[in-house]
Amino acid sequence: MSRNGRGRGAWRLGMLIAVGALAVAVAATAGQARKGQGGYTLGLSNTLVGNGWREGQLCAFKAQALASGKVDSLRIAHRATDTAGQISDIRAMISAGVDAIIINPSSPTALKPVAAQARARDIQVVFIDQYVSAPGVYNASNDQVAYGRLGAIWLFKKLGGKGNVVEMRGIAGVPADTDRHKGFQQALKAYPNIKVVKSVFTGWQFAPGAKQMLDILNSGTQVDGVWTSGIDYTVVDAFKTAGKPYVPVVGADNYGFVRQLKSRFPTFQGAAVTNPSSIGGVGAAQAIRLLDGQKAPKWIKLSPDVWTWPQDKASINKYARAGAPADASAQLQIPPWTTYTLKQYAACKGP
Residue type, 130: Q
- Same CATH fold assignment for domains 36-142+277-302+332-347 and 144-273: yes
pLDDT of residue 11: 41
Cα of 4 vs its chain's centroid, Å: 65
C-alpha–C-alpha distance, residues 154 and 186, integer Å = 13
Gap between the terminal Cα atoms of the chain: 58
The residues facing 198 across adjacent strands are 166
Q: What is the pLDDT of residues 229-246, one digit of tens each?
A: 999 999 999 999 999 999
In angstroms, the CA 283 to CA 263 distance is 34
The domain made up of 144-273 has a fold known as: Rossmann fold (3.40.50)
Which pLDDT does position 35 carry in this prediction? 63
| Helix residue spans in 219-312 (DSSP H) | 233-242, 255-263, 279-291
Question: What does the chain come to in residues?
Answer: 351
Distance (Å, rounded) from C-alpha 263 to C-alpha 171?
30
Domain 36-142+277-302+332-347 CATH class label = alpha beta
Low-confidence ranges of the chain (pLDDT < 70): 1-36
Question: Nearest CA to 105 among 67, 71, 57?
Answer: 57
Question: For residue range 108-149, what is the model confidence (pLDDT) as tens digits?
Answer: 999 999 999 999 999 999 999 999 999 999 999 999 999 999
Contacts of 224 (CB under 8 A, 6+ apart): 159, 163, 164, 165, 247, 248
The domain locations on the chain are 36-142+277-302+332-347, 144-273
CB-CB contact of 228 with 250 (8 Å): yes
Q: Report the distance separating Cα 57 and Cα 332, nearest Å.
A: 9
Q: Are strands 306-307 and 270-273 parallel, antiparallel or unpaired?
A: antiparallel
* The pLDDT value given to residue 28: 35
At 37 the pLDDT is 75
- Report the mean per-residue pLDDT for the chain: 91
Q: What secondary structure, in 3-state letters, does the chain show?
A: CCHHHHHHHHHHHHHHHHHHHHHHHHHHHHHHHHCCCCCEEEEEEECCCCCHHHHHHHHHHHHHHHHHCCEEEEEEEECCCCHHHHHHHHHHHHHHCCCEEEECCCCCCCCHHHHHHHHHCCCEEEEECCCCCCCCCEEEEECHHHHHHHHHHHHHHHCCCCEEEEEEECCCCCHHHHHHHHHHHHHHHCCCCEEEEEEEECCCCHHHHHHHHHHHHHCCCCCCEEEECCCCHHHHHHHHHHCCCCCCEEEECEHHHHHHHHHCCCCCCEEEECCCCCHHHHHHHHHHHHHCCCCCCCEEEECCCEECCCCCHHHHHHHCCCCCCCCCECCCCCCCCCCCCHHHHHHCCCC
Instruction: State the number of CA atoms in the 13 A half-sphere of 71 facing the CB.
Output: 28
